[in-house]
Homo-oligomer: A and B are copies of this chain.
Amino acid sequence: MTRILITDDEAKIREMIRKYAEFEGFEVDEAVDGMEAVSKCLSNQYDLVVMDIMMPNLDGFSASKEIRKADPSMPIILLSALGEEYDRIHGFDIGVDDYVVKPFSSKELMMRIHAILKRVHPETTEAQVYRLEGLEIDYSARIVRIDGEKIQLSPKEYDLLVYLVKNAGIALTREQILQTVWGYDFFGDDRTLDTHIKLLRKNLGDYSKYVVTLRGVGYRFEKD
């Protein structure tokens, strides 16, 4: 299990990242400031650290330095508000593995986490593929294959499928699906989800049988 430490003084941000990171199958721990991040890194083993720059007690730059003292190869991703600390980031440059500018999309952050982990230990991260009989999802390439044949999914269809598959065997309410795949700010029509389920099923062909309707609740991806 890949372990990630999320450091931000805003609980909202931590929650958002945690949600997506756990959804991606990571084990998540949290810290509220640089001080806590450093001490947690010393007493625990993480595979990657995500850290805000602006934090009370100890900022992201200083915390990074401390963490790197103990483990020079620890992968660190810094978060920064747009424009904030531009010069220091620029000068820092190589000190961290990556940095992401707020406001960032969760998808963007997750892709970067995957990219860095793949670079750091390519062996363990190689298994970025889900398989169920002839259905195959390559997460790093965003490719879905059916019996070896590549199929074309729209972004929403792909995200929807991934969300269902990552929660295979678990009943998901319509609200859960809409909130996660569409985002918190979606207040659209309820039929929208139906439509995308329909399109997804159409594209999945025979494998559409795994997308089970739970009347009055939502949907579930059958485990097998």
Indicate if A121 sits at the interface (CB-CB under 8 A).
Answer: no
Complex interface: stretch among A36-44, A55-63, A167-175, A199-207? A167-175
**A66-124: which residues lie under 8 A (CB-CB) from chain B?**
68, 72, 89-90, 93-95, 98-100, 107-108, 111-112, 115, 118-119
Per-residue B-contact encoding for A197-221, CB less than 8 Å = 1, 0 else: 0000000000000000011110010
Indicate if A140 sits at the interface (CB-CB under 8 A).
Answer: yes
**A163-201: which residues lie under 8 A (CB-CB) from chain B?**
169-171, 173, 175-176, 179, 184-185
**Interface contact B12-A173, CB-CB below 8 Å:** no
> What copy number does this chain have within its complex?
2
Which residues of B sit under 8 angstroms from A142, Cβ to Cβ?
171, 214, 217, 220
**A132-156: which residues lie under 8 A (CB-CB) from chain B?**
138, 140-142, 154-155
**Interface contact A141-B155, CB-CB below 8 Å:** no
List 30 A-B pairs, Cβ < 8 Å.
A11-B68, A11-B72, A11-B95, A12-B94, A14-B72, A15-B94, A16-B93, A30-B72, A90-B184, A99-B184, A100-B175, A107-B173, A107-B217, A108-B175, A111-B173, A112-B176, A115-B176, A118-B170, A138-B169, A140-B169, A141-B170, A141-B220, A141-B223, A142-B171, A142-B214, A142-B217, A142-B220, A154-B215, A155-B214, A155-B217
